[in-house]
Amino acid sequence: MAVLTANGLVKIYGSEPGALVHALNGIDLAIELGEFVAIMGPSGSGKTTLLNILAGLDKPSGGQLVIDGEPVQALSGDALALFRRRKLGFVFQDFNLLDTLTLAENVALPLALDRRPAREVRKLVEGVMARFGLEESQGRYPYEVSGGQQQRTAVARAIVHQPALVLADEPTGNLDSASARTLLETFATLHAEGSTTILMVTHDPIAASYSDRIVFIQDGKVYSRLEREGTREAFFQEILHTLSILEVSGVDIRPTRP
Amino acid sequence: MTFGQLVRKNVIRQKRLYLGYVASCSVSVMTLFLFMNVAYNPAVVHGFMPSAARVIMLASGWIVGLFSVFFIFYFHAAMLRLRGQEFGVLQVLGTTPKQLGRMVMLESVLADGVALGCGLLLGLLFTKLFLLILGDLMALPSEIPFAAPARSWLLTCVVFILIFAFEAYLMASRIRRRGPKELIVGKRSRQKPPRPSILLSLLGILLLALGYYLAIARSIQTLASLIGLLVIIALVIAGTYLVYTQGLVWLLMYLRRRVQSGVSVLIVSRLAHRMKDHARALTVISTLSAVVMTASASQLGLLSVLKQGEAIREPFAVMTWTNSAHPLALAPRQITQKLQAAGAGVTMQLTGTALEGSLQQPSAAKGTRSVTVVSASTFEDFVDAIRSHGADRGASYPNVPHLKPGHALYVASFPLMTPTQFHSTPTTLRVGTADEEPLVVDGQINERTFNFGTTAVSDYVLIVSDPDFHQLAAKAPKDSVWAVHGWMASDRARASSAFGTQLPSSQVSVVEPTDVSTLRLFSTMIFAGMFISLMMLLACGNTIYFRLLNNQAEDRVQFRALRRTGITHRELGRVLTVEFSVLFFLPFLLAVLHTIAAVIDYRHVLMVPGRLWPMCLAVMLVYFGFMIIYFVIARFTYPRQLRIDQPNRTR
Ligand SMILES: Nc1ncnc2c1ncn2[C@@H]1O[C@H](COP(=O)(O)OP(=O)(O)OP(=O)(O)O)[C@@H](O)[C@H]1O
Ligand SMILES: [Mg+2]
State the pairing for strand pair A165-169/A88-91. parallel
* B539 neighbors B531 (Cβ within 8 angstroms): no
CA distances from B602 to A251, B159, B416, B587, B651 (A): 85, 34, 10, 22, 54
**Mean pLDDT rounded to a whole number for chain A:** 86
Count of residues in chain A: 258
Same domain as B354, residue B330:
yes
Same domain as B386, residue B241:
no
Q: Give rounded-to-5 percent helix, strand, coil for chain A.
A: 45, 25, 30
Compute the distance from residue B576 Cα to the ligand 2 centre, in Å. Answer: 30
Same domain as B545, residue B481:
no
Q: Is the pLDDT of residue B391 over 70?
A: no
- Residue B402 is predicted with a pLDDT of 85
CB of A220 within 6 A of ligand 1: the answer is no
| CB-based contact A108 B650, cutoff 8 Å | no
B190/A contact by beta carbon, under 8 A: no
- Residue A10 is predicted with a pLDDT of 94
Q: B-chain residues within 8 Å CB-CB of A55?
A: 564
Q: Please report whether residue B428 resides in a domain.
A: yes
Confidence of residue B561 (pLDDT cuts 50, 70, 90): confident
- Residue B581 is predicted with a pLDDT of 93
Euclidean distance between CA atoms B342 and B361, whole angstroms: 44
| pLDDT tens digits, one per residue of B395-422 | 567 777 888 888 998 887 765 445 667 7
Write out the H or E segment, with its range, that includes residue A168: strand A165-169
Q: Please report whether residue A49 resides in a domain.
A: yes
Q: Please report whether residue A119 resides in a domain.
A: no
- Ligand 1 atom 8, closest CA: B648
What ligand is nearest to the CA atom of residue A57? 1
Helix (H, G, I), strand (E, B) or coil at B358: strand
Chain A closest-CA separation from residue B81 CA (Å): 20
Q: Please report whether residue B283 resides in a domain.
A: yes
Same domain as B263, residue B158:
no
| pLDDT tens digits, one per residue of B612-648 | 788 889 889 998 998 999 899 989 888 888 777 665 4
CB of A191 within 6 A of ligand 1: the answer is no
Euclidean distance between CA atoms A22 and B136, whole angstroms: 68
Euclidean distance between CA atoms B499 and B513, whole angstroms: 14
State the pairing for strand pair A2-13/A88-91. unpaired
Q: Which of B500, B522, B555 is the last residue of a domain?
A: B500
Same domain as B204, residue B184:
no
Compute the distance from residue A40 Cα to the ligand 1 centre, in Å. Answer: 14
Same domain as B404, residue B353:
yes
Rounded to 5 degrees, what are φ and ψ at B410?
-105, 135
Pick A141's closest partner by Cβ from B193, B266, B561. Answer: B193
**DSSP-assigned beta bridge partners for residue A215:** A39, A225
Structural domain range at position B466 = 319-500
Same domain as B373, residue B336:
yes
- Residue A64 is predicted with a pLDDT of 93
Q: Please report whether residue A17 resides in a domain.
A: yes
Q: Please report whether residue B506 resides in a domain.
A: no
The CATH number covering residue A212 comes to 3.40.50.300
| pLDDT tens digits, one per residue of B50-63 | 667 777 778 878 87
Q: Is the pLDDT of residue B277 over 60?
A: yes
What ligand is nearest to the CA atom of residue B648? 1
- Residue A213 is predicted with a pLDDT of 93
Q: Please report whether residue A108 resides in a domain.
A: no
| pLDDT tens digits, one per residue of B218-245 | 665 555 556 777 888 889 999 999 999 8
- If you average pLDDT over residues B430-446, what whole number do you get? 82
- If you average pLDDT over residues B47-75, what whole number do you get? 77
Residues 6 or more apart whose CB falls under 8 angstroms from that of B476 comprise: B355, B431, B432, B434
| pLDDT tens digits, one per residue of A95-128 | 788 777 889 888 988 888 778 888 888 899 999 9
Q: Is the pLDDT of residue B68 over 90?
A: no
Write out the H or E segment, with its range, that includes residue A6: strand A2-13
**Mean pLDDT rounded to a whole number for chain B:** 80
ipTM: 0.71
- Residue B225 is predicted with a pLDDT of 59
Q: Please report whether residue A26 resides in a domain.
A: yes
Q: Which of B167, B189, B211 is the last residue of a domain?
A: B189
Comparing CA positions, the residue from B349, B343, B357, B345 lying closest to residue B320 is: B349
DSSP state of A34: T
- Residue B329 is predicted with a pLDDT of 81
Euclidean distance between CA atoms B353 and B456, whole angstroms: 13
CB of A48 within 6 A of ligand 1: the answer is yes
A87 to chain B: nearest residue by CA? B566
DSSP state of B426: E
What ligand is nearest to the CA atom of residue A42? 1
Same domain as B564, residue B627:
yes
Chain A closest-CA separation from residue B37 CA (Å): 51
Euclidean distance between CA atoms B271 and B578, whole angstroms: 9
Residues 6 or more apart whose CB falls under 8 angstroms from that of B396 comprise: B447, B609
CB of A171 within 6 A of ligand 1: the answer is no
- Residue B129 is predicted with a pLDDT of 86
- Residue B392 is predicted with a pLDDT of 55
| pLDDT tens digits, one per residue of B461-517 | 899 999 999 988 888 888 888 889 998 888 877 777 777 666 777 777 777 665 666
Q: For chain A, how many structural domains are there in total?
A: 1
Confidence of residue B586 (pLDDT cuts 50, 70, 90): very high
Pocket test of ligand 1: the residue of B646, B648, B649, B651 to mutate, having most ligand atoms within 8 Å of its CB, is B648
Pick B568's closest partner by Cβ from A58, A78, A157. Answer: A78
Confidence of residue B113 (pLDDT cuts 50, 70, 90): very high
Q: Is the pLDDT of residue B276 over 90?
A: no
Structural domain range at position A55 = 2-98+162-248
- Residue A258 is predicted with a pLDDT of 36
- From the CA of A45, give the closest atom in ligand 1: 21
- If you average pLDDT over residues B193-204, what whole number do you get? 85
Confidence of residue B307 (pLDDT cuts 50, 70, 90): low
Q: Please report whether residue B556 resides in a domain.
A: yes
Chain B closest-CA separation from residue A246 CA (Å): 26
A113 to chain B: nearest residue by CA? B262
Euclidean distance between CA atoms A213 and A12, whole angstroms: 27
B267 to chain A: nearest residue by CA? A100
Q: Which of A44-58, B108-122, B291-305, B511-525 is predicted least confidently?
A: B511-525
The two most distant CA atoms of chain B are separated, in Å, by: 103
- Residue B458 is predicted with a pLDDT of 79
Give the residues of chain A that fall short of pLDDT 50: 251-258
Q: Which of B189, B204, B219 is the last residue of a domain?
A: B189
- Ligand 1 atom 7, closest CA: A13
The percent of residues above 70 in pLDDT, for chain B, comes to 83
Same domain as B263, residue B183:
no
Indicate the pTM of the whole model.
Answer: 0.69
Higher pLDDT, B305 or B524: B524
Same domain as B328, residue B263:
no
- Residue B510 is predicted with a pLDDT of 76
- Residue A216 is predicted with a pLDDT of 92
Identify from B260, B276, B571, B651 which residue to disrupt to test chain A contact, counting A C-beta atoms within 10 A and taking the largest count.
Answer: B260
Q: Please report whether residue A256 resides in a domain.
A: no
Q: For chain B, how many structural domains are there in total?
A: 3
Same domain as B217, residue B325:
no
Q: Please report whether residue A129 resides in a domain.
A: no
Compute the distance from residue A40 Cα to the ligand 2 centre, in Å. Answer: 10
CA distances from B559 to A77, B379, B450, B565 (A): 15, 74, 71, 10
- If you average pLDDT over residues B250-256, what whole number do you get? 87
Q: Please report whether residue A223 resides in a domain.
A: yes
- Residue B83 is predicted with a pLDDT of 77
Q: B-chain residues within 8 Å CB-CB of A109?
A: 265-266, 565
Pick A115's closest partner by Cβ from B188, B262, B554. Answer: B262
Same domain as B114, residue B82:
yes
Write out the H or E segment, with its range, that includes residue A216: strand A213-218
Q: Is the pLDDT of residue B603 over 80?
A: no
Q: Please report whether residue B281 resides in a domain.
A: yes
